[in-house]
Amino acid sequence: MVLYLLLMLFLPILTLFATGFSLPPDRFWSIATSNLAWATYGITISLALGSAVCNGVFGTLVAWVLVRYDFPGKKLIDASIDIPFALPTAVAGVVLTTVYSENGILGRLFAPGSPLGSLWGEEGLRLAFARPGVFIAMTFVSLPFVIRTVQPVLEDMEKEVEEAAWCLGASPATTFWYVIFPPLIPSILTGVALAFSRAVGEFGSVVIIAANLPFDDMVSSVLIFQRLEQFDYPGATVIGIMMLFLSVALLFVINLLQNWSSKSG
Amino acid sequence: MVKGKKISIEFLLITIALLFLGAMIYMPLLALLAEVVQGGWDVIVKTWHDRNFQSAVLLTILTAGIAVPLNTIFGLCTAWVLVRQRFPGRALVMTILDLPFSISPVVVGLMLVLLYGKHGWLGQIFDRFNIPIVFNLPGMVLATIFVSLPFVAREVMPILEEVGTAEEEAAKTLGASGWQTFWLVTVPNIKWGILYGVLLTNARAMGEFGAVSVLSGNILGKTQTLPLFIEEVYTNYQTGEAFAASLVLAMLALVTLVLKEWLSQKTGSGHRRIH
């Protein structure tokens, strides 16, 4: 078992570092901080952060609706939340591109000349094959995280506390912000961090929905892939190490958040 | 008055939630179904008889057929060791076990290319025996194993912890050997957890795109799994075939979800576990 883990997990990670750090430091540094690399970090991190926050807001809302309200089809909808985890990313890319491209059902709403599209100027708003498409793909693949971390906390929350707040004369808004929301914060943040971590590394759906233009909508994982295709191993390795650092740092943050939420929950 | 206001807020929130889920999940899936129906029976038949599609299906089943059993056996061992034994570095192993969930699939592919490629540490050894790994089937299997490695261990560990050691110790005092205890006492206790893990492992193994894409030479028909086939035909504007093949994988995902739901009712837990 130790050998299996060693061979399958440790050794590949070790090789990545060994290869990266066998480069001269100034070469490593110049690849890691090249203009194109900086551009992809910026695009990746800003879009992933945006999608994680979007999932934080809507995920909390969906969790709330699923726990507190009753409506027909609720069970089915609850089960369908896991679809983004079960659906292969290539399929996600294909279906999202279909829906959000200029001729797609939802993409059409923002096409040039349409009422919503006109808000963005004459060109309309391009969703697929541009940054918004990447944002949509990232939001899709990380959608279940916040919902699934918030749901159990909401379920365990005692209704008596809320009722007590009401009896003491608090308005619904006050009850929400001062009584319901604070205990949810650790679980929301855990979910957002998990979603962010997933979105940063996402490749399959993003590469399909994006135009993958450098400095425009190319993310870091696509840059690594393109460098590998050109057999530029040092170039790919350095960016790979930067991404790995980010995932390990995020894993650390997520562990801290999970400890916090299990303590407060 | 207050009651009415409350209901309208409820209605509003449910509507927003459904709009969000609709735009993100339901519309795309319905659009896929609509496209396949619109493409008609001919496209489905044509895709079905496409040599590349057939070999992609076979290759997908083959890679999952190798990766899933291996990850199940070793995932079980890993879970048992991590739960029942205390050793230095245990926390580190637990953290590293989670890494395949958070590393980008492309970085996974990159690591394996570096390790098993022509100049890699292990690549040189395999090269001497003329066994090609990278850009070939063995590389794709390795990539699949890497990305789906933690599922079984992650699902089984909490159940093992919950079951405790009392029954195992009782079996031992009654004279059962280590293997007997494991097969007759431990495994029956955790069988639903194992099944749950296998299900998730299989879904990930059959659907993996990024890591496998790096490791495949992407030679049409030879080293293409179903997800790679879909991407290839889609970017070649053979959208009809891409939708038909996507529907196959989407069905697989739905079956996985239904089984998952059924299993979580059996175990009474696991439903809300993330990953």
What total number of domains does chain B contain? 2
Q: Mark whether B32 and B153 lie in a shared domain.
A: no
Q: Which residue of A has its CA nearest to B143?
A: A8
Q: Please give, rounded to a whole number of angstroms, the shortest distance from the CA of A228 to a CA of chain B.
A: 8
B102 and A247: CB-CB below 8 Å? yes
Name the one residue in this structure whose structure tokens are 């958070």: B102
SS3 B158: helix
Looking at chain B from residue 21 to 60, which residues have their Cβ under 8 Å from any Cβ of chain A? 21, 23-29, 31-32, 35
Q: Mark whether B126 and B64 lie in a shared domain.
A: yes
Q: Which residue has the higher pLDDT, B1 or A28?
A: A28
Return the exposure string of B228-263: e unless at least 16 CB atoms fall within 10 Å of the residue's CB, then b: bbbbbbbeeebbbbbbbbbbbbbebbeebbeebeeb
* Interface mutation target, options B1, B3, B14, B273, chain A, most CBs of A under 10 Å: B14
Chain B neighbors of A243, CB-CB under 8 A: 103-104, 107
What are the Cα distances from residue A228, in Å, to A30, A232, B259, B268?
A: 18, 6, 38, 45
B115 and A148: CB-CB below 8 Å? no
Distance separating alpha carbons of residues B253 and B275, to the nearest angstrom: 14
Residue A218 in domain? yes
Residue A107 in domain? no
What total number of domains does chain A contain? 1
Residue A147 has pLDDT above 80, yes or no: yes
Q: Which domain holds residue A70?
A: 33-86+137-264
What size, in residues, is chain B? 275
Q: Mark whether B140 and B253 lie in a shared domain.
A: yes
Q: Mark whether B28 and B134 lie in a shared domain.
A: no
Q: Mark whether B176 and B210 lie in a shared domain.
A: yes
Amino acid at B248: V
Average pLDDT score over chain B? 88
Per-residue pLDDT at A227: 94
Looking at chain B from residue 129 to 158, which residues have their Cβ under 8 Å from any Cβ of chain A? 142, 145-146, 149
Residue A17 in domain? no
Distance separating alpha carbons of residues A92 and A141, to the nearest angstrom: 8
Q: Mark whether B31 and B124 lie in a shared domain.
A: no
Per-residue pLDDT at B177: 84
Residue B274 in domain? no
Which residues, other chains included, contact B179 with Cβ-Cβ below 8 Å and sequence gap of 6+? none
Q: Which domain holds residue B233?
A: 50-267
Q: Please give, rounded to a whole number of angstroms, the shortest distance from the CA of B171 to a CA of chain A.
A: 24
Q: Which residue of A has its CA nearest to B30?
A: A95
What are the Cα distances from residue A22, in Å, to A17, A18, A25?
A: 8, 6, 8
Q: Does A65 touch chain B (CB under 8 A)?
A: yes
Return the exposure string of A60-73: e unless at least 16 CB atoms fall within 10 Å of the residue's CB, then b: bbbbbbbbeeeeee
Q: Is A81 left (phi over 0), alpha (psi -120 to 50) or beta?
A: alpha
Query: Looking at residue A77, which CATH number applies to its domain?
Result: 1.10.3720.10
DSSP class of residue B210?
A: H
Q: Mark whether B9 and B95 lie in a shared domain.
A: no
Residue B272 in domain? no
Tens-digit pLDDT profile for residues B110-150? 999 999 988 888 888 888 888 888 888 899 999 999 999 99
Q: Does A31 touch chain B (CB under 8 A)?
A: no
Per-residue pLDDT at B2: 54
Q: How confident is the model at residue A3 (pLDDT cuts 50, 70, 90)?
A: confident
Q: Mark whether B22 and B127 lie in a shared domain.
A: no
What size, in residues, is chain A? 265
Residue A4 in domain? no
Q: Please give, rounded to a whole number of angstroms, the shortest distance from the CA of A215 to a CA of chain B.
A: 20
Nearest beta carbon to residue B274 from set A66, A105, A148: A148
Looking at chain B from residue 155 to 194, which residues have their Cβ under 8 Å from any Cβ of chain A? none
Tens-digit pLDDT profile for residues A116-137? 888 887 778 889 899 999 999 9
Per-residue pLDDT at B1: 44
> Percent of chain A having pLDDT more than 70?
99
Residue A93 in domain? no
Residue B273 in domain? no
Q: Please give, rounded to a whole number of angstroms, the shortest distance from the CA of A79 to a CA of chain B.
A: 7
* B117 and B219 Cβ atoms separated by less than 8 Å: no
Per-residue pLDDT at A223: 96
HSE at residue A101, side-chain half, CA atoms within 13 A, is 13
Q: Mark whether B33 and B93 lie in a shared domain.
A: no
Q: Mark whether B126 and B246 lie in a shared domain.
A: yes
Residue B128 in domain? yes
Residue B17 in domain? yes
Residue A173 has pLDDT above 60, yes or no: yes
* A195 and A52 Cβ atoms separated by less than 8 Å: yes
Q: Mark whether B9 and B79 lie in a shared domain.
A: no
Q: Mark whether B35 and B62 lie in a shared domain.
A: no
Residue A39 in domain? yes
Residue A38 in domain? yes
* B144 and B63 Cβ atoms separated by less than 8 Å: yes
Query: Looking at residue B221, which CATH number applies to its domain?
Result: 1.10.3720.10
* B192 and B267 Cβ atoms separated by less than 8 Å: yes
Which residues, other chains included, contact A114 with Cβ-Cβ below 8 Å and sequence gap of 6+? A108, A124
